[in-house]
Amino acid sequence: MKELIAEAAEVIHQSKMTLALTGAGISVESGIPDFRSAGGLWSKYDPEEYATIGAFREKPEKVWQMLRDMDEIVSNAKPNKAHIGLGELESMGLLQCIITQNVDNLHQAGGARNVIEYHGNSSTLSCLQCGRKYSAKDKQGEFPPRCECNAILKPDVVFFGEAIPGDALNRSFMLASTAQALMVVGTSAVVSPANTIPGIAKRNGAKIIEINKEETHLTHSITDIFIQGGAGEIISALVAEVKRRLGSCGNG
């Protein structure tokens, strides 16, 4: 693994445009199970019944039963070593943007500033009737949370049946087409449209660094460096190796 981490660190060190594509796997170490896993949300709630925008508009009180469970898990989660490590790479000028499928706000809590969120963010709520916005923290303990106009609030996450924000798509595609390195962390990259990002980057000459616990469809097709294991340990080691290289350059 040391050789792979050294190889990945060199790619990141040399790259002028590095991106990270992250999924549920990066937040598992923070105590947030993948929704699709055995202990995940979809094993308890049928997404067609609880996670579509139609279901929310029709029966928001019912949908908030699921959202309350999700909120209890997400609101207590803290950024792990992987989130913090990516934040460090950004502050060092070696990671230009994170494209995430997660809604947990842990990248920002870990220090990252330039984050494109495909599926929104659960830290804020909006009123579909009058457009007012609220912090989820300000509405904690209120079930279901209501707007001043008395309508039930919706978390600013993308439900099934809602479009991925156009700005997020356009920015991510533009960045992927100019990337020199792409880190794929904690995602199998099978869900559209995130699954298109590695291909776009690869076609434009980017090196693909994949960090996952298991092999994916990318591993033997477009991945250049596959480092198998937990994201926290690997990214911490990667950041330390990048710092070592920066230090030796400075001393040279």
Structural domains present in the chain: 1-32+79-119+164-252 (3.40.50.1220), 33-76+126-157 (3.30.1600.10)
The whole-model pTM stands at 0.92
pLDDT tens track for 68-120: 988 888 888 999 999 999 999 999 999 999 999 999 999 999 999 999 999 99
Residue 243, burial from CB neighbour count under 10 angstroms (0-12, 13-18, 19+): middle
pLDDT at position 251 over 70: no
Per DSSP, 160 falls in state: B
Alpha-carbon span 223 to 198, nearest angstrom = 9
Alpha-carbon span 103 to 23, nearest angstrom = 10
Catalytic residues: 119
Give residues with Cβ within 8 angstroms of 42, minimum separation 6.
35, 36
pLDDT tens track for 26-81: 999 999 987 777 677 878 899 889 999 999 999 999 999 999 988 888 888 999 99
pLDDT at position 141 over 90: no
pLDDT at position 249 over 70: no
Q: What is the mean pLDDT of residues 185-214?
A: 94
| Between 209 and 1, the higher pLDDT residue | 209
